[in-house]
Amino acid sequence: MASSKVLKKIKYTMRFIPDKAYIQIYYFAHFKKLCNLENPKTYNEKLNWLKLHDKNPLYTQIVDKYEAKEYVSNIIGDEYIIPTLGVWEHFEDIDFEALPNQFVLKCTHDSEGLVIVKDKSKLDKEMAKQKIEASLKQNFYYIGREWPYKDVKPRIIAEQYMEDHVDCELRDYKFFCFDGEPKAMFIASDRVSGHVKFDYFDLEFKHLDIKQKYEHADKPLRKPVTFDKMIELSKILSEDFPHVRVDFYEVDGKLYFGELTFYHFSGFMPFEPKRWDIIFGNWIKLPHNHKK
């Protein structure tokens, strides 16, 4: 099977294909059928319908990893925001001397340009430069046709390095929200090992029999101490959108905002069992004027 990097290059070479045709090609590749964009029923179908029809200009600010911090801070307060140490347009502008020994570099416009620095003295700057600059040259919109990314200004930000000493890893807690109502969530764990695990839960923290791409964790995961606060804040942050995934981190018992994601797996990831695609799809209420 081709690597994710190769697949990304293939997708980028197809950037001249119109959005609707591109969506159908990649939907068929994953589901072995065309996406029902006239009368969508499943979660993945509705995500792709929203890509084509829900063009709220606010989304572009929200998916920008730098601008999103101000947006979220204005709503829930800056105590939930991971501190930004700097923002630059070019790698050579980064003042590494001014940065602390530990930090994270990431690009504002995609999910690939990520460099985690645990010891600045051991940083391979040339490797970091190649990774960041390759990311800066690409427009993430063309990978999954997630239109909000199309006009995000490519920049580099440095953030405070975060490490949770309770779980000895930084886990992601991701809540699926629909018109301000979280319905389910999952925990992404084991990222450092290279064998990522996804475990889905309801809002009572009951484990759900859902699999998407990744296996479940080898042992039960603890309920985060800020779980109830995550639910509370996810309601606030999602109330203006038909669907958004609200992501958090918990670091030594303190809650931090991660990001807002409008198209989980870009709408191209099957559920196991398949019934969950219908269940999640029923939770999305499309605008009344959409095609029947």
The C-alpha angle with vertex 25 and arms to 24 and 28, in degrees rounded to 5, equals 80
Mean pLDDT for all residues in the chain: 93
Burial 184-210 (b: 16+ CB within 10 A, else e): bbbbbbbeeeeeebbbbbebeeeeeeb
For residues 242 and 246, give the distance between their C-alpha atoms in angstroms, rounded to a whole number. Answer: 13
More confident residue, 232 or 167: 232
Q: Do the bridges between strand 114-117 and strand 156-160 make them parallel or antiparallel, or are there none, so unpaired?
A: unpaired
Q: How confident is the model at residue 112 (pLDDT cuts 50, 70, 90)?
A: confident
Residue 212 is inside which H or E element, if any?
none
Q: How confident is the model at residue 1 (pLDDT cuts 50, 70, 90)?
A: very low
CA 275, 278, 279, 280 torsion-angle sign: positive
Fold category of 4-283 in CATH: D-amino Acid Aminotransferase; Chain A, domain 1 (3.30.470)
- The structure's pTM equals 0.93
Domain ranges, ordered by start, for the chain: 4-283
Tell me what the mean pLDDT of segment 49-69 comes to: 97
Burial class (CB in 10 A: 0-12, 13-18, 19+), 229: middle
Place of tokens 């670091």: 251
